[in-house]
């Protein structure tokens, strides 16, 4: 499923893979089975350094992709990636497979660290200008069956939103935009963006529960 199908196209000075900081296809290839990642997490929780290293090799590009979109590629994203893996080393035992796939848990952990860093206002970042930055092929067939199923479900829910709402929501998520930045994206006043944003999120929740 191309993500571009969910996004309105707009003209932008930034185009293509280079502008978006997109890696080569070889790097993009991911998809370690959940059971293997869960096993590596379990071994990591017991202090197995080799398993932890293997876990890094399998997952670091995915987590770095999450961080680099929010923080930009550079020292900040590098430092946060180190921090994230030290947390994974320390917190691997808290992973609960009932909540979701291992990579989703790790990505959420990474994303939260990046958002905390942004929220503290210590980071300057460059947000790619234009939806082409998200004009990427979603890896529809990558990952486990569970991941693919959840991804298809979410994409179906997103299709239930109006195109402009969907575009702004996706950019807000991938770049960790603040309300002020979302107001600019959505061409709304700062005062009206909070109720608008919450209505978008409530609508998405409704679409997903159908």
Partner 1 sequence: MTDDDDIEGLAAEYVLGSLGTLERAEVAGRRATDAALDAAITAWEARLGPLSTALPGIEPPGYILGNVLRQVDTPISVPLASMREGSRRRRSVRRWLALSAGASALAACLVGALLWVFEAPVRIPARFVSELEKTPNPTEGLTVALVPLGFEVFFDLRASTVLVRPFAVPPGSSQDYQLWLIPHGTAAPPISLGVIPLAEPTMSPWPATYPPRDLVHARLAVSLEPRGGSPKGIPTGPTMFEGKLVQASYPLP
The footprint of partner 1 on residues 16-35 (CB under 8 A) is 21-23, 25, 27-28, 30
Q: Which of residues 83-122 bind partner 1 (CB under 8 A)?
A: 83-87, 89-91, 94, 99-101, 103-104, 107-108, 110-122
52 in contact with partner 1 (CB under 8 A) = yes
Q: Does position 48 bind partner 1 by CB under 8 A?
A: no
Instruction: Output 10 or 198, the one with its CB closest to partner 1.
Output: 198
Q: Which of 9, 126, 159, 205 binds partner 1 (CB under 8 A)?
A: 205
Query: Of 7, 41, 66, 92, which lies in the binding site for partner 1, with binding defined by CB under 8 A?
Result: 66
Q: How far is the CB of 112 from partner 1 (least distance, A)?
A: 7
Using rule CB under 8 A, residue 192 touches partner 1: no
Can you tell me the distance from the alpha carbon of 51 to that of 74, in angstroms, rounded to the nearest whole number?
27
By the rule CB under 8 A, 76 interacts with partner 1: yes
- Render the chain in DSSP notation, one character per residue: -BGGGGS-----S--HHHHHTPPPHHHH-----HHHHHHHHHHHHTT-HHHHHHHHHHHHHHHHHHHHHHH-SSHHHHHHHHHHHHHHHHHGGG--TTTS-HHHHHHHHHHHHHHHHHHTT-------SSGGGG--B--TT-S-HHHHHHHHHHHHHHHTS-HHHHHHHHHHHHHT--HHHHHHHHT--HHHHHHHHHHHHHHHHHHHH-
Q: Is 197 in the site for partner 1 (CB under 8 A)?
A: yes
- Residues within window 131-170 making contact with partner 1, judged by CB under 8 A: 136-139, 143, 147, 150-151, 153-154, 169-170
Residue 130 binds to partner 1 (criterion: CB under 8 A): no
């Amino acid at each position: 499923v191309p993500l571009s199908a969910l996004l309105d196209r707009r003209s932008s000075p930034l185009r293509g893979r280079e502008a978006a900081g997109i890696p080569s296809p070889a790097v993009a290839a991911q998809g370690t089975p959940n059971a293997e990642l869960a096993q590596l997490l379990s071994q990591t929780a017991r202090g197995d350094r080799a398993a932890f290293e293997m876990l890094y090799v399998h997952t670091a590009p995915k987590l770095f992709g999450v961080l680099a979109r929010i923080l930009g590629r550079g020292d900040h994203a590098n430092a946060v990636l180190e921090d994230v893996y030290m947390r994974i080393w320390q917190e691997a035992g808290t992973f609960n497979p009932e909540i979701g796939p291992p990579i989703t848990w790790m990505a959420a952990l990474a994303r939260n660290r990046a958002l905390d860093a942004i929220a503290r206002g210590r980071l300057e970042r460059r947000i790619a200008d234009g939806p082409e930055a998200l004009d990427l092929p979603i890896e529809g067939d990558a990952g486990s069956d569970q991941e693919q199923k959840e991804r298809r479900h979410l994409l179906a829910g997103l299709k239930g939103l109006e195109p402009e709402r969907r575009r702004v929501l996706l950019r807000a998520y991938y770049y960790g935009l603040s309300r002020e930045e979302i107001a600019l994206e959505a061409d709304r006043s700062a005062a009206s963006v909070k109720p608008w944003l919450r209505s978008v999120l409530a609508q998405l929740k409704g679409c997903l529960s159908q």
